Structure 1
């Protein structure tokens, strides 16, 4: 068995110590419970730094490439300390025990799944799929076992949702970070799952299964069509899962339309765009930064939708229009740039003087028409799938797309490249559109 697989298996064994925490929570003494929960991981960290010397079998089993320089198991120590920190949050500060166990176990065994998948096929997408599948299964089992140890009931839909979200977030972070950054991955996943646990979204098992299935299909299609890089694909799959579970099918229909048509528009006449210097990098495949820049505002909106009005004293409908407005702006900007950039004689939006194609802030009337068509598509989907969005609401969504496109061009002509980059401009444009959607919807009495 390759050393990387053995090492991943050894780390998974250490991660299994997480099951000491649900046992510890049953102890009468809080101090004793804290020691019992954090002690195993703290002991592993101590041994990794002091007792396991270079050249020993244990050192060779756990050592990562960077550990050989000083002869210390820094990777194992950091991994164990991160788990100990989360264990402390679980016994003293309210982190749900099964969330803690699921986090440590899914990261540990997800890494093992990734290494095993990579052994079968060297493709990084196959390896990431191995992480997600094994991590998801391990996360579900971990929650069931933890609940059994504690003698508490568990919501199966919630367990599936948390495990799926955790596995995708961990795989995404692993795709853009190094293996030595696993402690950061573990802490990030644990805190994010804690947030979703506290939001307590009311969803059925059927919707979660559908969300998982649709997200998996989306990931495969993105991979097959090469419309996104690995991090971009994982980001899109994660956002799709969250949108279906937290928002609903109508919300997802808007998002997936943007992902699908936006990705295909980048491929449209790609060679010609390449000659004109306006083509997306990586042959049109969108990375995680691009996907997040266009979707982060929409993601915040759908999370806020779930959190209102129980956690946020705001009318939930405002976040619906914020979401639709942000997606419409992303679609408008993508269509206007991908199609409008194919035409000559663009004019700078601030001065109306002619500029070269691809100039930041340059617009063509064809691009404006294409952008408005993209906004109309999102508005039509919103009106068709969401009962609360009627004809007036659809017009508001189209207006949001126009706002986003205008803000994007204005920022491109003034501050892009000096104050903010392209991704920052995209995010600010979708934010402006989201605020416009919420504000107009409130002003005209749609919510």
Structure 2
């Protein structure tokens, strides 16, 4: 980044494969051109998408990309157009094989990545210091959420009005989910250009939900959104989560609430609260051993997704397959119990005075070694799983309280030890990362509780 006459300039990065950021909107001609390009793309795409075929749209955007590359070489605009051309190509190809990537999803993704990202950039440049002008902050992420969702809904509604092929409820649902997804991609450091990843990521998320044909009343969706966002904000203010974790939790929360109910999300949040609290437990001691959580224990999007993806899948399945609701509920309790048990085992077990032992050989090892276990850690894992089981029963998830608590504890404790076993084997050899281990372990915890439900109840 360089400064000329107090104007901030960001050095251009290679197309797609490096992150590119727009210049701060300080009144320079290039900044105005950048804004004009994005607004033009947003408005034109909204107006023409209902009336033109995928093939014609593909030719228009491909031609526009070539023209802009030759005359201007604005990487941000080119990356956006490349992503749109790719989506149109995917849509046309999918249509050949009797699948469908609807055009209203593509035009909604365009609005999010133009109007939403432009508004976020303006807010970021107004709120950040010059030295941090390209750093995502909570205000800019909220601007992207609001502007992106609003513009996507307007464009989608225009499409729905002229084609009568999609309901306004579904348009509103996917617009909110798409905007949250785009804001999440913007907040994650990556070598891939943000506009490219935002456009593709939001489109893919909206496509998955549209494929289910599942929609929710706008008021219910808004309540879920603001509830999840508010709790995420509290976690951010108390240094439990960073911005990427807030947006990840918001996305998770909205989907879990609309596909199941709010208590499912509250139960999942219990795991994050327990994790945040016990991360601080004897933190200086763990820091001295070099085994404390990074960034003071602040959770990132990796923590959220690695520990909650299985829970999210089960919550969505609960809404889509109500005939299997009991089985899915027990599996959900098992996966959350595993996440809670594993976190408490790690944060409390590492403070034990006894020498840890490898779960594979029971040989003594150093504290913090992947796959090391202690009696205190095993007890903490059981306690975390028990807490989830009791809360699940208290929330009315199950009718048979005692068997449900026992099944939840078995799934949580078993999943936690699977986590240790994977850490001592696959993670130690580099086959799995810590996030990968967490994902497999939580899925295993769900599997254990689900199987026990089928065998016992």
TM-score bucket (shorter structure) = 0.7 to 0.9
Structure 2 matches for 1:408-447, cutoff 5 A?
408-418=419-429, 419-445=431-457
Tell me which residue corresponds to 1:30: none
Closer, same or farther in 2 for the Cα pair 1:116/1:181, shift >3 Å? closer
Q: For 1:415, what is the secondary structure of its paired residue?
A: helix
The Cα shift of 1:335 comes to 0.7
Tell me which residue corresponds to 1:55: none
Structure 2 matches for 1:194-233, cutoff 5 A?
194-233=207-246
Tell me which residue corresponds to 1:349: 359
Tell me which residue corresponds to 1:256: 269
The Cα shift of 1:259 comes to 1.7
The Cα shift of 1:395 comes to 1.8
Give a deviation string over 1:332-382, Cα, whole Å, max 9, x none.
000111112112222322333333221222222222222212112211222
* Aligned counterparts of 1:35 and 1:207: Cα–Cα separation in 2: 37
Which runs of 5 or more residues in structure 2 are unaligned? 1-24, 129-135
User: Is 233-242 or 410-419 further displaced after alignment?
Assistant: 410-419
The Cα shift of 1:39 comes to 3.7
Closer, same or farther in 2 for the Cα pair 1:387/1:126, shift >3 Å? closer
Tell me which residue corresponds to 1:78: 79
* Aligned counterparts of 1:401 and 1:265: Cα–Cα separation in 2: 17
Structure 2 matches for 1:157-196, cutoff 5 A?
158-176=170-188, 177=190, 180-196=193-209
Which runs of 5 or more residues in structure 1 are unaligned? 26-32, 53-58, 60-71
Contact 1:253 1:381 in 2 (8 A): no
Tell me which residue corresponds to 2:116: 110
Structure 2 matches for 1:263-412, cutoff 5 A?
263-308=276-321, 315-345=324-354, 346-391=356-401, 392-412=403-423
The Cα shift of 1:125 comes to 2.5
The Cα shift of 1:89 comes to 5.4
* Aligned counterparts of 1:8 and 1:131: Cα–Cα separation in 2: 15
The Cα shift of 1:137 comes to 1.9
* Aligned counterparts of 1:338 and 1:406: Cα–Cα separation in 2: 15
The Cα shift of 1:209 comes to 1.6
TM-score by length of 1: 0.85
* Aligned counterparts of 2:394 and 2:31: Cα–Cα separation in 1: 49
Closer, same or farther in 2 for the Cα pair 1:389/1:168, shift >3 Å? farther
* Aligned counterparts of 1:180 and 1:361: Cα–Cα separation in 2: 37
Tell me which residue corresponds to 2:5: none
Tell me which residue corresponds to 1:17: 44
Give a deviation string over 1:381-439, Cα, whole Å, max 9, x none.
22222444531222211111111111112222333231322222211211211111221
* Aligned counterparts of 1:48 and 1:277: Cα–Cα separation in 2: 51
* Aligned counterparts of 1:73 and 1:206: Cα–Cα separation in 2: 40
Contact 1:336 1:371 in 2 (8 A): yes
Closer, same or farther in 2 for the Cα pair 1:336/1:137, shift >3 Å? same
Contact 2:157 2:168 in 1 (8 A): no
Aligned residues, how many? Answer: 414
Contact 2:278 2:348 in 1 (8 A): yes
The Cα shift of 1:134 comes to 1.6
Contact 1:22 1:150 in 2 (8 A): no
Contact 1:407 1:429 in 2 (8 A): yes
Tell me which residue corresponds to 2:13: none
Q: For 1:332, what is the secondary structure of its paired residue?
A: helix
Contact 1:361 1:413 in 2 (8 A): yes
Tell me which residue corresponds to 1:40: 60
* Aligned counterparts of 2:166 and 2:78: Cα–Cα separation in 1: 34
The Cα shift of 1:47 comes to 0.6
The Cα shift of 1:191 comes to 2.2
Q: For 1:24, what is the secondary structure of its paired residue?
A: coil
TM-score by length of 2: 0.83
